[in-house]
Amino acid sequence: MLVCLTANHQNANFATLEKLSVSGAGTAQSLMNQSPAITGAVVLATCNRFEAYLDIDENAQPAGITAVTLLSDATGVTPEELAESVTMLRGDAVIPHLFSVSSGLKSVVIGEDEIAGQVRRSLEQARETGTVSPNLERLFQSASRTSRGVKTRTAIGQAGRSMVRLALELAASRIADWTATRVLLIGTGQYAATTVAALRDRGSENITVFSPSGRASQFAVRQSVSATTDLAAAIADADIVITCTSYNEPVVTTDVVSPGKRRLVIDLGLPRNVHPSVGHVDGVDLLDLETIGLHAPLEELNATNEAHNMVIDAVAEYGAETAERTTASAVVALRQHVFSLLEAEVDRSKKRGTWSEESESSLRHLVGVLLHTPSVRARELARQGEGQSFVDALSALFNITVEAENVNSRTVAGADAAAEAEQKLA
């Protein structure tokens, strides 16, 4: 069974999100180590979202052990705090949720650019650590395909929305000339590269980068910006400071920020890259993720019905494909049964001396023709949520037994119901 534990800007406070993000990449492995029932785990952690996607064998789940309890043990966040901040989705409800998240429909800034890449990288990380299961692999790949379709085929993907762009829009009221504005960027990851692109779109030309991990020089060469190793001096010289590192401790503190000069500090990091006390330094205005989120446009002004409908269609198709897989083993069993009869008949013909290549070729062709219609019908029944009827027919007609766990007639109906719920939310 698929389970998603989600804490995001809609149901959790910033402090809880910050605590969860500190647990980092090891959370997925920690979850799997705690319970043999968890056969796969992928963790998605962004600036306004922490989600653990789990593949759980319900039959192996110890009594009294819940996914929330396991997440608490893995992250150090108390069960009480998680109970107030985490929503649990089960089974078919997980599919439209991830598809919508990956497509940017559940972000603070609807249609944001970064989320699709973050979803993709969370899967890659799970592959590297060996925590992704086949079910989660297929789910996340389908989510990525859906987000690409939304981005390329709807207006929501053409606006280039992102948290950094929203932050720069909020800062624009105090910037008279972006070309003359001195910007210090702290961080050298993918988000930093996105920030450079957003700054240049506004005409920014004077960008300097600082890296707590010492990667500023390489980043500066790739992005054609300046590099510095003196953080305090760079902050003193800057008009705007933008932070976006993955450090667990604040990089910008009152120790490196001198009072007096008017400057704007934009903290895009989670956990916080800027200590809250910096906002009290004379001349400093601090704009953090919590504040940026309060100024995010309403979903109705950004999201399009077309994008939501694409997600709903993708969920339905995923359910149909999943249902087809439930009868695949039954089709394989039927083919094996029929071809075993064919091979037995060929052996008898050879022993009787009546065998010929032409007769065997004709028999194989006939078997292929006869199997075509049942194979097609199996897929059709599966998509209609009636895959079990095909399995029952094989048992009644040919005494072929297929494991019950391979057949789940709820898949399509459940996916349709989840898609309908997504439609209502949209």
Please pick, among 7, 47, 101, 115, the residue that the annotation labels catalytic: 47
Check if 47 is active-site. Answer: yes
| Cα–Cα dist 33/36, whole Å | 7
Name the residue among 129, 100, 124, 94 with its Cα closest to residue 112. 100
| Cα–Cα dist 82/42, whole Å | 18
**Which DSSP state fits 297?**
P
Name the residue among 103, 120, 74 with its Cα closest to residue 426. 103
State how far the alpha carbon of 341 is from the alpha carbons of 98, 101, 330, 363, in Å.
46, 50, 17, 11
| Cα–Cα dist 34/239, whole Å | 48
Return the half-sphere exposure (C-beta side, CA atoms, 13 A cut-off) of residue 307: 27
Q: Is 177 exposed, middle or buried (0-12, 13-18, 19+ CB in 10 A)?
A: exposed
Using an 8 Å Cβ cutoff, are 273 and 252 in contact?
A: yes
Give the burial string for 17-36 (b: 16+ CB within 10 Å, else e): bbbbbbbebebbbbbbeebe
State how far the alpha carbon of 75 is from the alpha carbons of 18, 22, 23, 202, in Å.
11, 8, 5, 39
Amino acid of residue 260: G
Is the link from the previous residue into 96 a cis peptide, with omega within 30 of 0?
A: no
E-assigned strands of 253-370? Answer: 263-267, 284-288
Q: Residue 26 is inside which H or E element, if any? A: helix 26-34
The set of catalytic residues is 47
